[in-house]
Amino acid sequence: MSKSSAQYSHYPQHHPHDHGRILHRRPAAPAAVTALALPAADDAYTIVHAGKQVRFGPVVFWIVVGTVVLLGLWSAATATYFAFRDDVLTRLIARQAEMQYAYEDRIAELRAKVDRATSRQLLDQEQFDQKLDQIMKRQTALESRATALGAMPDVTGSIPRSAPQRGDASQATPKPSPISDTVIFVAPPDREARLESRAPTVVAPPTSQFARNNGFDNVLARLTNSLDQVERRQMAALNAVEESMDSRMRRMRGVVSDLGLNLTHLEAAVPRSAMGGPFVPVKLTANAGPFEKQLYRINTTRAEMDRLNRTLALVPYRKPVIGEVEFTSGFGVRSDPFLGRPAMHTGLDFRAASGDPVRVTANGKVVSAGWSGGYGRMVEVDHGNGLSTRYGHLSEINVRVGEIVKIGQVVGLVGSTGRSTGPHLHYETRIEGEAVDPQKFLRAGVRLSAG
């Protein structure tokens, strides 16, 4: 079988300027088939670049070419679609504008939150300042009340102390005087300085705002609680003083009533001291609180009690001797120590040693000072309003007639002069010249001192 040789076109001489050119191989002439026909060789493509050759088949070549063509067609179609479809561009622009508006709304909302937060901070600060001003005014009022209480002599020792609170170190420490309790604190900086130091464009986190508000509230609560404690102690002090005065006033009036004395007559007999001045009535202001009203009542009661004290200073209800009282003979009918027959004893005989001081039992004026029969050496003091006292059997007299004597002044010394069996003091109390039982007055004195 003859076989024709395949003829191939020769490759042209490579030229230096032919870089990147694709050389097409010219197909050879078909070979003569004598017995069995052989297929022709596949076409191939060669890319020559910088002296290097890359061969690839037609399938790959056309895939690449087709891809490039499809991309070009897709770009042309897309450009044509967007060029002739204005609604798509409009929607894109509208969506962009919507996003921009939403962003601006968000910014406006954030700015509103900043403004609200700043306004809330300013309002909270203003409220804090107002509450702080109220606390400072209240503290000033309590300090003035403490001064008023300190000027009252009846307050000393009559103020109950409140029980200390758990964990309160200031309450656990005893203080020298309850009426001096005041709240001392340092006021915060002025409002303008605080506002300048605050950044109004920054919104603090809710937890920080909450913590700051809680801090202010805690400070105000502590100050208010401290002031409340001081006020309660002051009111307790006033209540104690008022109750003490009322109780003493009742006892003093009761003593005068029990003794059968006329209080009006006793007051008229009180000598007037050298004093004077214009009359200025005491008035309560329209906005006076419970403290001021109670203080007014206490001052009124004290003035009345002072008048009663001056009146009772003329009533002989005190002991004429110092120490324990021991009677050797009581008031009334007894057996006469010298004759052994019943006789009236017009006073009390106090056991005492010779030379012991004898003290006057009420304010008065000495009307007798000398020897007086069975009394021996005797001193008689007129207390006014028909009241008088006698001190007998004295060994020595220390006053003279006409002398003004005060409560507790020594008028003589215990002795055994006159009709006496031994050293003792014979003490008498007389009303309108009639002898009465001195124990009645002494019991009244015990009742007054017991309160």
Asked if 157 and 186 touch (Cβ cutoff 8 Å), the reply is: no
pLDDT band at 37 (very low <50, low <70, confident <90, very high): very low
Q: Is the residue at 93 inside a domain? A: no
Predicted pLDDT at 4:
40
Q: Is the residue at 332 inside a domain? A: yes
Same domain, 73 and 179: no
Same domain, 233 and 128: yes
Query: Which range scores top for mean pLDDT: 12-16, 257-261, 332-336?
Result: 332-336
Task: Name the helix (H) or strand (E) containing 334.
Answer: strand 332-335
Same domain, 167 and 238: yes
Same domain, 297 and 350: no
If one counts the domains in the chain, the total is 4
Predicted pLDDT at 368:
95
| Amino acid present at 355 | G
Q: Is the residue at 441 inside a domain? A: yes
Predicted pLDDT at 207:
43
Q: Is the residue at 188 inside a domain? A: yes
pLDDT at 212 over 60: no
Q: Which domain holds residue 48?
A: 22-81
Same domain, 341 and 446: yes
Integer angstrom CA distances of residue 120 from 61, 62, 113, 114:
75, 75, 10, 10
Q: What is the CATH number of the domain that holds 358?
A: 2.70.70.10
As a whole number, mean pLDDT of residues 193-208 equals 42
As a whole number of angstroms, the distance between CA 114 and CA 34 comes to 100
Same domain, 384 and 443: yes
Same domain, 338 and 443: yes
Same domain, 291 and 381: no
Q: Is the residue at 99 inside a domain? A: no
Predicted pLDDT at 221:
81
As a whole number of angstroms, the distance between CA 30 and CA 40 comes to 7
Q: Show the beta-strand stretches assigned E in 174-279.
A: none
Tell which residue, 383, 415, 385, has the closest CA to residue 398.
Answer: 415
Q: Is the residue at 164 inside a domain? A: yes
Tens of pLDDT, residue by residue over 368-404, are 999 999 999 999 999 988 899 999 999 999 999 999 9
Tens of pLDDT, residue by residue over 74-123, are 888 887 777 766 676 777 888 888 898 889 989 999 998 888 888 888 88
Same domain, 344 and 446: yes
Integer angstrom CA distances of residue 196 from 138, 200, 202:
29, 9, 13
Q: Which residue has the tokens 């954030």?
A: 110
Same domain, 363 and 440: yes
The pLDDT > 90 percentage for the chain reads 25
Written in H, E and C, the secondary structure of 227-251 is HHHHHHHHHHHHHHHHHHHHHHHHH
Q: Which residue has the tokens 């039992």?
A: 361
Q: Is the residue at 423 inside a domain? A: yes
Predicted pLDDT at 85:
67
Q: Is the residue at 348 inside a domain? A: yes
Same domain, 134 and 166: yes
Same domain, 262 and 336: no
Sign of the dihedral defined by the CA atoms of residues 425, 430, 435, 438, in that order: negative
Asked if 335 and 343 touch (Cβ cutoff 8 Å), the reply is: yes
